[in-house]
Every structure is written in structure tokens, then in C-alpha cells.
């Protein structure tokens, strides 16, 4: 079964936004969704559409609201999100792709919280 051109563009945009091969860092949740220029720029940088950026960030806001409605602590929310991320990383492909995704997520988190990029720790190389 084939996809319509619109479905193909959506699938491609989705892939680009989440691909471990994409070297852009994930967006922070503090982007102003009302600022069309910022949304356009983020979409361009991520290789996706402005609508995909809006949908993703709105969903993040919904997750935060649901956590608050359910009286989850920050630790409980982090544990729940880490569980979801673990499942998604395991499903992203080979062990090499999984490790790339983990590094990508770590770098994105590091950047998103505003830590200095020149201080990202580099793991020691293993000698075999």
C-alpha cells in the first residue's frame, strides 16, 4: 500500500526530526509557538515542517499538564519519560544506532538546559 504525497512528506519530516543521523540538537520546550519566524527557523534546522514542530511542542506541554494533574513529582515524571525514551531508543535500530541516539539525546539535553557546550564530557576511548 502506497502513501499519498502528503503522507510521504509527513513521514519524511517525522523521520528527519527524530533520526539519530540528524546532527541538530532537539528543541527546548521554551520556543515561542506564537513566533512564526522562530517556529519556521526551528523546522528548517530540524528538517521538518513548522506544523510538526508545533505539534511536538504542544504535546510536550500536554505531558507536563498531565503530570501536574496526576500530582507526579519531578522525579516520577523524569522516570516515566526515561522509560518511554528507553523503549524508543531500543526500537531505533542496531546497537550502533541506539548508541548514536543516546549520545544525541544527551547532547540535546545538555544544550537544552543551557550548560556550556565546550564542557560536554567526552567518554574515554576503550582500548581492545
- Using the predicted structure, report yes or no on whether residue 76 has a pLDDT greater than 90: yes
Alpha helices in 19-73 (DSSP H): 36-46, 50-69
- Judge whether 86 lies within some domain: yes
How sure is the predictor about 77, in pLDDT bands with cuts at 50, 70 and 90?
Answer: very high
Tell me the per-residue pLDDT of 100-117, one tens digit each, with 9 for 90 and over. Answer: 889 888 888 887 788 887
Tell me the residue range of the domain where 63 lies: 5-111
- Judge whether 52 lies within some domain: yes
82-22-125 Cα angle (round to 5):
70
Provide the domain count of the chain.
1
Of the candidates 76, 85, 83, 9, the residue with the CA atom closest to the CA atom of residue 48 = 9
- Judge whether 119 lies within some domain: no
| Predicted local confidence at residue 5, as pLDDT | 57
CA distance 128 to 22: 29
- Judge whether 118 lies within some domain: no
Say which DSSP state 29 is in: T
Amino acid at each position: 500500500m502506497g502513501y499519498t504525497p502528503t503522507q510521504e512528506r509527513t513521514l519524511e519530516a517525522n523521520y528527519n526530526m527524530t533520526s539519530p543521523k540528524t546532527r541538530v540538537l532537539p528543541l527546548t520546550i521554551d520556543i515561542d509557538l506564537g513566533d512564526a519566524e522562530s517556529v519556521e527557523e526551528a523546522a528548517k534546522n530540524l528538517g521538518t515542517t513548522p506544523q510538526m514542530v508545533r505539534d511536538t511542542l504542544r504535546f510536550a506541554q500536554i505531558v507536563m499538564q498531565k503530570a501536574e494533574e496526576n500530582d507526579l513529582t519531578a522525579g516520577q515524571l523524569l522516570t516515566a519519560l526515561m522509560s518511554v525514551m528507553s523503549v524508543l531508543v531500543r526500537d531505533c535500530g542496531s546497537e550502533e544506532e541506539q548508541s548514536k541516539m543516546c549520545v544525541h539525546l544527551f547532547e540535546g539535553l545538555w544544550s537544552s538546559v543551557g550548560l556550556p557546550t565546550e564542557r560536554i564530557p567526552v567518554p574515554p576511548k576503550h582500548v581492545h
